[in-house]
């Protein structure tokens, strides 16, 4: 008999018993966009594309809406074909999911079991710890060095139990990158039965030529897979679709753990339409890249230390003053993403939003 007293809560009542791992999960706080005294608000907290969907994509979504009485194609055949075409890979090297977080969860489910270790840098993408916990895998975190992945320390942290390693490139929330040569040296040290996932959610924003393209890296490395998403540069965060490119055994594992039908009809249609409209979308990305340079240079000129960023956000290591800074941003109608005691991540928005943020950042210093 389990100890029944354990589920008595503070109010003296007994509630259904859940996995202990959930007790460590932060309570859900709905994100809200603050409004300044002047009535303006800017959401710079989720690294979204600041521009609405292209008319051509809206049209396709509208058309797809007419058939939502039907289930989506669970195999996402047309979308997978379009992705395979676009990236020059075979269709059996592609798996899709409900956002790339969905695909990541599919991978965690595929490797997670008691005793399995999953290795990642910290701080990195917030989703990794929760996905590891849910999959009953043990998180092994390796501290960043100079705000960047420390690949030597990460290779040293591999044990016989390491089943999966995440490399977020560029890293969320710091925006920093690992280069081709150091990544190759690291991959050479990873045992072939351990999966390395290159999380490239911000790939389209990279302008540093020394950063490897995961889709080139994975080709002759069967234990390397790449995660990409339609949420950021392609501007479809609200529709939830992402994908993996990897060798057939890896793609098959990711498919086998997918929640059925979790990539919906509208998402599949919109993703296909977005690939077709890529030139237009990449012009927007170029605008964001220009704004990123402007924002970082102005911050640095004002005395802020901002690591070089290849993503659509900047990282401010504010330490103990992080929450105070976030509150000042909120006061000014700007939502940023604070990590208490560490720093704040601020997305690059449209020029008006960036101007508002820069005004605040100048004044705050
Ligand atoms: C935003 C982001 C994603 C994308 O998540 P989706 O589920 O595709 O919206 C994945 N990885 C990282 C590191 C991110 O920052």
Ligand 1 atom with least separation from CA of 125: 13
Residue 130 Cα to ligand 1 middle (Å)? 14
Ligand 1 within 6 A of CB of 354: no
Residue that the structure tokens 């859900």 belong to? 28
Residue 228 Cα to ligand 1 middle (Å)? 8
**Taken in order 324, 328, 331, 337, is the CA torsion positive or negative?**
negative
**C-alpha triplet 196, 161, 98: angle, nearest 5°:** 45
Ligand 1 atom with least separation from CA of 231: 9
- pLDDT score for 1: 46
| Residue of 231, 243, 312 best suited for mutating to test ligand 1, as the one with most atoms within 8 Å of CB | 231
Nearest protein Cα to ligand 1, atom 2: 201
Ligand 1 within 6 A of CB of 168: yes
What tokens does 271 get?
């993703």
Ligand 1 atom with least separation from CA of 47: 1
What tokens does 9 get?
């809560």
Q: Measure Cα distances from 250 to 114, 117, 198, 336 in Å.
A: 20, 18, 13, 35
Residue 244 Cα to ligand 1 middle (Å)? 12
Dist CA 176 CA 276 (whole Å): 30
Cross-sheet strand order for the sheet of 313-316: 313-316, 343-347, 337-339
Ligand 1 atom with least separation from CA of 101: 7
Dist CA 268 CA 49 (whole Å): 19
Ligand 1 within 6 A of CB of 231: yes
| Residue of 97, 125, 201, 241 best suited for mutating to test ligand 1, as the one with most atoms within 8 Å of CB | 201
Strands (DSSP E) found in the chain: 42-43, 94-97, 117-122, 138-143, 162-168, 195-199, 224-229, 242-245, 313-316, 334-335, 337-339, 343-347
The closest alpha carbon to 41, from 330, 351, 346, belongs to: 330
- pLDDT score for 105: 98
pTM for this entry: 0.96
Ligand 1 within 6 A of CB of 315: no
Residue 207 Cα to ligand 1 middle (Å)? 19
Ligand 1 within 6 A of CB of 200: no
**Taken in order 39, 45, 46, 51, is the CA torsion positive or negative?**
positive
Number of neighbours of residue 355 by Cβ within 10 angstroms: 16
3 state SS of 198: strand
Instruction: Tell me the HSE value of 355 on the side-chain side, using a 13 A CA sphere.
Output: 4
What tokens does 306 get?
């901002």
Ligand 1 within 6 A of CB of 47: yes
Nearest protein Cα to ligand 1, atom 6: 99
Contact 323, 340 (CB under 8 A): yes
How many helices and strands in the chain, by DSSP H and E?
Answer: 12, 12
Residue 99 Cα to ligand 1 middle (Å)? 7
Taking the chain (365 residues) in runs of 10, the rounded mean pLDDT of each run is 63 91 81 74 97 96 98 98 98 98 98 97 98 97 98 98 98 98 98 98 98 98 98 98 98 98 98 98 98 98 97 98 97 96 98 98 93
Burial class (CB in 10 A: 0-12, 13-18, 19+), 27: exposed
Dist CA 95 CA 93 (whole Å): 7
Ligand 1 within 6 A of CB of 125: yes
Ligand 1 within 6 A of CB of 101: yes
Contact 168, 226 (CB under 8 A): no
Ligand 1 within 6 A of CB of 199: yes
């Amino acid at each position: 008999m389990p100890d029944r007293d354990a589920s008595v809560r503070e109010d003296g009542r007994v509630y259904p018993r859940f996995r202990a791992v959930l007790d460590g999960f932060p309570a859900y706080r709905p994100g809200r966009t603050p409004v300044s005294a002047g009535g303006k608000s800017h959401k710079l907290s989720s690294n979204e594309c600041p521009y609405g969907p292209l008319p051509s994509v809206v049209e396709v979504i509208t058309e797809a809406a007419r058939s939502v009485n039907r289930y989506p194609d669970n195999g996402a055949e047309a979308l997978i074909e379009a992705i395979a075409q676009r990236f020059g890979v075979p269709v059996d090297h592609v798996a899709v999911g409900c956002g790339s977080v969905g695909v990541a969860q599919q991978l965690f489910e595929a490797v997670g079991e008691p005793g399995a270790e999953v290795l990642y840098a910290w701080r990195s993408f917030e989703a990794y710890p929760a996905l590891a916990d849910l999959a009953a895998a043990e998180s092994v975190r390796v501290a960043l060095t100079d705000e960047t992945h420390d690949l030597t320390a990460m290779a040293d942290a591999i044990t016989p139990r390491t089943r999966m390693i995440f490399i977020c490139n560029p890293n969320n929330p710091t925006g920093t990158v690992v280069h081709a040569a150091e990544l190759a040296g690291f991959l050479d040290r990873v045992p072939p039965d351990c999966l390395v996932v290159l999380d490239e959610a911000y790939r389209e924003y990279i302008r540093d030529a020394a950063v490897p393209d995961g889709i080139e890296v994975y080709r002759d490395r069967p234990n390397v897979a790449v995660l990409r998403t339609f949420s950021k540069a392609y501007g479809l965060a609200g529709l939830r679709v992402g994908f993996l490119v990897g060798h057939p055994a890896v793609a098959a594992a990711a498919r086998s753990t997918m929640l059925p039908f979790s990539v919906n009809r509208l998402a599949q249609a919109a993703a296909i339409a977005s690939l077709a409209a890529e030139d237009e979308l990449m012009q927007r990305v170029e605008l964001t890249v220009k704004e990123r340079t402007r924002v970082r240079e102005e911050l640095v000129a004002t005395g802020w230390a901002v690591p070089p960023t290849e993503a659509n956000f900047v990282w401010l290591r504010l330490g103990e003053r992080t929450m105070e800074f976030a509150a000042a941003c909120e006061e000014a109608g700007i939502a940023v993403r604070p990590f208490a005691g560490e720093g704040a991540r601020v997305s690059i928005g449209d020029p008006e939003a960036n101007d508002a943020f820069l005004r605040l950042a100048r004044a705050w210093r």
